[in-house]
Amino acid sequence: MIYSEDQYRKDLNRYIDNIDNQIHSISKTLEDFSCCILSDFENLQKAVTEAHTIASTYYLQSYLSPYTKEYSSLSLAAQHLSEKRHGGLIVVERRLPIGDYLHNGTPIGAKVSSTLLETIFYPGNPLHDGSILIKEDTIISAGNILPLANKTIEGKKLGTRHRAAIGLTEKSDAVAIVVSEETGRISFAVEGQLYTIRT
């Protein structure tokens, strides 16, 4: 989904109002000790996750749209990879060149399309384990090796794709989109931080 700023604010405010109402309801329910509030917390967690997804989607779009017109193709490819549990790592170069941080990539030189991105990340394809480099609206190369970060998040060890996304974005202004083949989770890294878009 492509978000305008107005639509983003409306949607997020609707979720925030819903979250606020749910918190108020849980507070009221606490007055009655005979009630179980576990399902209320599950509903609250779902609303917070959905609000987080909206915010992440909007910010990823904001980070990418000045540098590529193919945001929709990137988003569609990530969704399809997620649904199929095919892992992927897509790097979008922004202002600063990142060629010095990439190694062993295979030149592609093709226009960005969701179909081509999905094909490159198809399991067994020789290039599927590395990253794809996109500059403007062109797939520059695939199968790139990136620098790895030595980072954990909330005590969980990160997979290689996630560590590579963080490692590259610690050293550059690039944005990296990551799809986990284990969970299907879509995340993006910018400035060395990892944000979940879809769980």
Vertex 90 angle, CA 102 and 72, to 5°: 145
Judge whether residue 199 has pLDDT over 60: no
Considering only residues 90 and 129, tell me which one the structure prediction assigns the higher pLDDT: 90
Q: Which residue has the tokens 């890294």?
A: 189
38-86 pLDDT, tens digit each: 888 999 999 998 888 888 888 888 889 999 999 889 999 999 999 999 9
Question: 69-198: same fold as 5-63?
Answer: no
CATH superfamily of 69-198: DNA integrity scanning protein, DisA, N-terminal domain (3.40.1700.10)
Q: Where are the chain's structural domains? A: 5-63, 69-198
Cβ atoms within 10 Å of 2's Cβ, excluding its own: 11
Judge whether residue 186 has pLDDT over 90: yes
Beta bridge partners of residue 177, listed in sequence order:
90, 188
Judge whether residue 157 has pLDDT over 80: no
Quick one: CATH architecture of 5-63? Answer: Orthogonal Bundle (1.10)
Considering only residues 13 and 36, tell me which one the structure prediction assigns the higher pLDDT: 13
With residue 133 as reference, give the H or E element that holds it: strand 131-135
pTM confidence score: 0.84
